[in-house]
Structure 1
């Protein structure tokens, strides 16, 4: 095992393409590549901010939604000399073993985006995840009311059962839906946040419930895309109200065309930058503070924002998260003009 870890550590250090950093080494461990935000935004924002703060190596790994792989990546990072781990866990329960191993080596762990419950983490930075669910469900209920389907049936396409945030999204959504009078026709916890599995499940529900489906609560944009693919394949008209989360480019384009009703924008840049700043402070032996704590963990929760066709310009475009040219490619130019974006 020692030989394996030593070889893995050498490979991990080599992948940075740099020599030893003067100021130290930080590991960034992200959970998957299916969710577009991690490679597109979280990683580059984090690495850029770390580089601004000093001469650090960032050992980056993506677990491809595999908890065992993430465990190996964490062990390799520790063997390679990582002095802080910034960890977005694939499985928040399983990740407690990563935290324990790091702490045994006096390496602090920053819990990024998902809280590792029961782990002795040094800091937690995320968004108000119950509010995400509230925003999604409120938009769904209001849109169905405007359409005259306030008493309709909905499908609940929840997130991964191994993601602690998925429970918070569902809790927030349930607090709104339970009081709305909407009927939940069926509910599904989507393994690995897989769009393909969401599509397959929704296709089965369409066969069972047909035109009773007025809306789909989809916990993120990937599962929303899967649901919409199933609805389009079944030629469902009109398209039900579909929610989402993460403000992925493909989701914004679906919103412009009317296939997806809304998404939730989370300002990833300040999240990633704060995680970088906390990691550097911890590496340097400093003290970190936060506006609140959860189970004794210093915590910062940023605020999510609901995005529909009506406020794309005022949210994701105004923040520079996406440009108009990104969204309104030639295939979407007519829809963008109709939506007042062009």
Structure 2
């Protein structure tokens, strides 16, 4: 009898333990569903937003210290407001910690969707995770966020940018010593552009026609760092350089400053990217050979439309998938355009990107 009572007690205790274990499993499941389903955004008081309020987009930008990004900011704001939505824009000017804090601020304010231009493709992965915990989707604008489940990436075909640069330089210098000045190593776009450059140049490197005599990243895309790199390339090669491919027009400008010191500013072809006004003016003056124009008005407008649609829970169409180290990210890629002295009128001027007066002066 005692043994029977003992067995009943043991069975009872086992039953209690199983019930506790099952309860723990049930508690864990909703957490995964919350992260996957992206519950509706909440405001700063932790309450779900009332229906009828306008969509609010948060725009976290790396920097506003370059002409190009000032245009992106203004065009994106204009496009968002044209859709009847609101936007709050914060820029960190190259400070990773500040960008994360600013993005967290936008998340805490309960924006309906976060658009981010990352300074550091790796560091901003934490921002994506926090946004998703709050039920907020994240769109990467022009630059990819690495190792994060971002909801959409929209940019230009940056590999194609590099290919256009390399093809233009080969027309000017089919053989010889090449210098490559990359962008910031922390920027995924810089890696994609470099890949495009080498897609074109590698067969000629293997053949022996082209020799890469200097290849260096440019910290923070800073022109002064590009100038130092170019000076180092010239010094190491006794000034014997036949072509320079710079990742954007700002770095091309820095390279040209160094070339001036060697009396080579108008003698060596130089490629850039972004179609900045200074770069276009140098093309007119004959010191820069070409640039790659990325119609950012189209980028800003497309991103605004996609962001608002996603914030409303609507489906959007994509044309690519990009692996970012963690996931296959739905992406929309736009086409870049080669610009040189032959097609300024048909590209940057026709689009209103730069005016004739700004390029050529009042005369």
Q: What TM bracket, shorter-length normalisation?
A: 0.7 to 0.9
Q: Indicate whether 1:122 and 2:151 are aligned.
A: yes
Question: CA offset at residue 114 of structure 1?
Answer: 1.1
* Distance in 2 separating the partners of 1:112 and 1:119: 14
* Distance in 1 separating the partners of 2:310 and 2:199: 37
Counterpart selection for 1:179 from 178, 203, 208: 203
Query: Does the residue aligned with 1:179 lie in a helix, a strand or coil?
Result: helix
Counterpart selection for 1:166 from 177, 190, 196: 190
Query: Does the residue aligned with 1:78 lie in a helix, a strand or coil?
Result: helix
Question: CA offset at residue 81 of structure 1?
Answer: 2.0
Query: Does the residue aligned with 1:210 lie in a helix, a strand or coil?
Result: coil
Counterpart selection for 1:28 from 44, 59, 83: 59
Question: CA offset at residue 206 of structure 1?
Answer: 1.8
Deviations 1:225-284 (A, max 9, x none): 000011113322653110000000000000001110000000101111111111111222
Query: Does the residue aligned with 1:115 lie in a helix, a strand or coil?
Result: coil
Counterpart selection for 2:132 from 90, 98, 103: 103
Q: Is the contact between residue 183 and residue 221 of structure 2 (CA under 8 Å) also seen in structure 1?
A: yes
TM-score scaled to structure 1, two decimals? 0.86
Q: Indicate whether 1:273 and 2:304 are aligned.
A: no
Matched ranges for 1:137-176 at <5 A:
137-144=166-173, 150-176=174-200
Q: Indicate whether 1:44 and 2:74 are aligned.
A: yes
Deviations 1:289-324 (A, max 9, x none): 212322432211000011111111111112221111
Deviations 1:171-225 (A, max 9, x none): 1101111223211111111111111100112112222223311111101001000
Q: Indicate whether 1:242 and 2:266 are aligned.
A: no
* Distance in 2 separating the partners of 1:81 and 1:58: 12
Matched ranges for 1:72-83 at <5 A:
72-83=101-112
* Distance in 2 separating the partners of 1:255 and 1:192: 24
Deviations 1:80-116 (A, max 9, x none): 2212110011011111111011011110000110111
Query: Does the residue aligned with 2:239 lie in a helix, a strand or coil?
Result: helix
TM-score scaled to structure 2, two decimals? 0.81
Q: Indicate whether 1:311 and 2:343 are aligned.
A: yes
* Distance in 2 separating the partners of 1:24 and 1:168: 33
Query: Does the residue aligned with 1:309 lie in a helix, a strand or coil?
Result: coil
Question: CA offset at residue 286 of structure 1?
Answer: 1.7
Q: Indicate whether 1:218 and 2:249 are aligned.
A: no
Query: Does the residue aligned with 1:206 lie in a helix, a strand or coil?
Result: helix
Q: Is the contact between residue 231 and residue 239 of structure 1 (CA under 8 Å) also seen in structure 2?
A: no
Query: Does the residue aligned with 2:75 lie in a helix, a strand or coil?
Result: helix
Question: CA offset at residue 120 of structure 1?
Answer: 1.2
How many pairs are equivalent?
Answer: 306
* Distance in 2 separating the partners of 1:89 and 1:214: 34
- After TM superposition, the structure 1 stretch with the greater mean CA deviation from structure 2, 132-141 or 27-36, is 27-36
Q: Is the contact between residue 177 and residue 213 of structure 2 (CA under 8 Å) also seen in structure 1?
A: yes
Counterpart selection for 1:53 from 83, 101, 107: 83
Question: CA offset at residue 29 of structure 1?
Answer: 1.2
Structure 1 residue ranges without an equivalent (≥5): 1-8, 11-20, 145-149, 334-342
